[in-house]
A and B are shown apart, each in its own frame.
Chain A
């Protein structure tokens, strides 16, 4: 948890202290990435599917206003109540009010990154509402009072021994138990009771269909369905960018989503909700929270095409070796690093720098977001706005001064070579981030300039 107060680089240093664990984290996520590759290779039309998905989403961004209006009208006709929330506070307040109106103080919730973004659990807990996350990974991190570290695999940073300890403490499983089958069974029993006793259930939304006024929720565990179908009130929370024009477009997205996420051909349940069941209330909360601002930024609006598959996290060499918590933001990894500065530029100025710009993220993205280009563009915006990370800003200012003056440049070069040759400890210290995990190079005896002058004389 204390990692949340550190910037990405410092939190990554903490994460890297346990080397075998970092290696394991790295390999586990790479394994998920290879499963994605295998699944993609099975479809000859994979690249065409990505292109179709990208174009459908481009259309959605350009037609957002009308599609949302159409969705609202159709959803209302279906008997769904539609709410609009400008920001996180309004989103939280709407949901709180719906729970109060139902006359209860407890709610069960399936996975929704939006509610993480809005800090809904904290808000409701402060207002005396108990929230239980029902996705197994989310339940694990919730018990440990940690945020999810990955958007698809929330507890990917934990070993089974960690989960065993947590369950021993909270669910009374045997001390030292680490068998995933046994631990999952314990969670199943515990959450079954929760599903059966909660009158309000919240789910996320993977896709909302303008043409039919319904929405689709995808899970492997069946937890969204268990919650929603047993509750008197079903609340679905969505960022407005989840809209797609027609049901037939789901063919494209459902073929891409699970294959990109985990290499599965499709999730176990892809549930289409169109009307409340008799006697039930169904609500949709459509949230902006900075999205309309991002829509107005030509360089960054493409980030709103994201379908949250997490392929860009799994493939990212920085994510795999720094862990999700080092991003101190609801959505970690490359896509989170584009979304977060839009929410708070100052607080998240370090994130676009948490990338090697290798481009692997853009290569796997099923909706073809130019992720690494956007990270590069954010860096420029942040430096210009004066939000560049402190050490980089100071170093770059100094460098600019040196580069502007030929004589200073020559002196600096001499000093640099001298430092490396005679007092390497000055360069190989913890104040020089470049030295971390690296040996400083052997310095040349003379500069290129000196060499050139000397050799020309001959």
Chain B
């Protein structure tokens, strides 16, 4: 018998009688204002959120936040003029000196400020972690109240990789003091278009 067969045989012999899945495993969250809820939570986890009317407003804010920053890449055509390089590389190591990545998020969750991105938004999986600073552009119309709603809309295996991102990378491993910018991006700015 292989280990696989032994393990599966032991499991079969030892598992209890079948118990049904629960009928209720999704719940409804009601927030008076999804955008406000999202912004409050994102701010709480150390991110920065800005409601903007259009790409011109995003461009203006980015130019003010990161003047003269080099090694900027974006996948958003409307902001292409801000970029001086691409994230579309064959070897992810080429992104090692990426300073700013500007990407889109197709679905965002109000309850916890998590934004879904997958390989439809990411030319390289490592882009949102390896970059020094991260910007995600979302649309208020794509905000869903909670995680159950997000999973209802998502097909998690559409691409080979997808992740919920909530705020900048952080750690509290040294005496429980919060430090922003562990291994991933040192900051996260989210622009909310209508």
Name A residues whose Cβ lies closer than 8 Å to a Cβ of B.
28, 31-32, 43, 45, 48-49, 51-52, 55-56, 58-59, 61-65, 68-69, 78, 84-86, 90, 134-137, 140, 153-156, 158-160, 163, 180-181, 183-185, 188, 191-192, 195-196, 209, 212-214, 220-223, 225-226, 229-230, 240, 245, 247-252, 254-255, 262, 264-277, 286, 288, 292-293, 295-296, 298, 301
Task: Point out the residues of chain A lying under 8 angstroms from B147, CB to CB.
Answer: 250-251, 254-255, 266
A270 is contacted by which of B4, B164, B171 (Cβ under 8 Å)?
A: B164
A245 is contacted by which of B21, B172, B174 (Cβ under 8 Å)?
A: B21
Docked Cα-Cα span, A48 to B146, in Å, equals: 15
The answer, yes or no, to whether B93 is at the interface (CB within 8 Å) is yes
- Distance (whole angstroms) from the CB of B119 to the closest CB of chain A: 8
The answer, yes or no, to whether B166 is at the interface (CB within 8 Å) is yes
Docked Cα-Cα span, A184 to B13, in Å, equals: 48
A265 and B16 within 8 A (CB):
no
Task: Point out the residues of chain A lying under 8 angstroms from B11, CB to CB.
Answer: 64-65, 68, 240, 292, 295
A266 and B171 within 8 A (CB):
no
Task: Point out the residues of chain A lying under 8 angstroms from B168, CB to CB.
Answer: 268
Task: Point out the residues of chain A lying under 8 angstroms from B159, CB to CB.
Answer: 274-275
A221 and B169 within 8 A (CB):
yes
Docked Cα-Cα span, A268 to B52, in Å, equals: 24
The answer, yes or no, to whether B77 is at the interface (CB within 8 Å) is no
A212 and B179 within 8 A (CB):
no
A86 and B3 within 8 A (CB):
yes
In chain B, positions 138-183 with a C-beta closer than 8 Å to chain A are 146-148, 150-152, 154, 156-157, 159-177, 179, 181-183
Q: A86-B7, A160-B175, A301-B16 are in contact. Are A214 and B182 (CB under 8 A)?
A: no
The answer, yes or no, to whether B62 is at the interface (CB within 8 Å) is no
A180 and B164 within 8 A (CB):
no
Residue picked from B22, B92, B96, B146, most chain A C-beta under 10 Å? B22
- Distance (whole angstroms) from the CB of A223 to the closest CB of chain B: 5
B173 and A159 within 8 A (CB):
no
Docked Cα-Cα span, A158 to B156, in Å, equals: 39
Docked Cα-Cα span, A180 to B173, in Å, equals: 9
Query: What are 20 of the A-B contact pairs (CB < 8 Å)?
Result: A56-B22, A84-B2, A86-B7, A136-B171, A140-B174, A156-B176, A221-B184, A225-B129, A229-B92, A229-B130, A230-B130, A248-B148, A250-B147, A262-B172, A266-B164, A268-B166, A268-B184, A277-B160, A277-B161, A295-B14
Docked Cα-Cα span, A198 to B179, in Å, equals: 25
| Tally of chain B residues near chain A (CB < 8 A) | 74
The answer, yes or no, to whether B41 is at the interface (CB within 8 Å) is yes
The answer, yes or no, to whether B24 is at the interface (CB within 8 Å) is yes
User: Mask for B73-88, Cβ within 8 A of A = 1, else 0?
Assistant: 0000000000000000
Task: Point out the residues of chain B lying under 8 angstroms from A135, CB to CB.
Answer: 173
Task: Point out the residues of chain B lying under 8 angstroms from A209, CB to CB.
Answer: 156
Nearest 7 Cβ contacts at the A-B interface: A222-B184, A296-B14, A275-B160, A265-B112, A137-B173, A229-B126, A221-B182
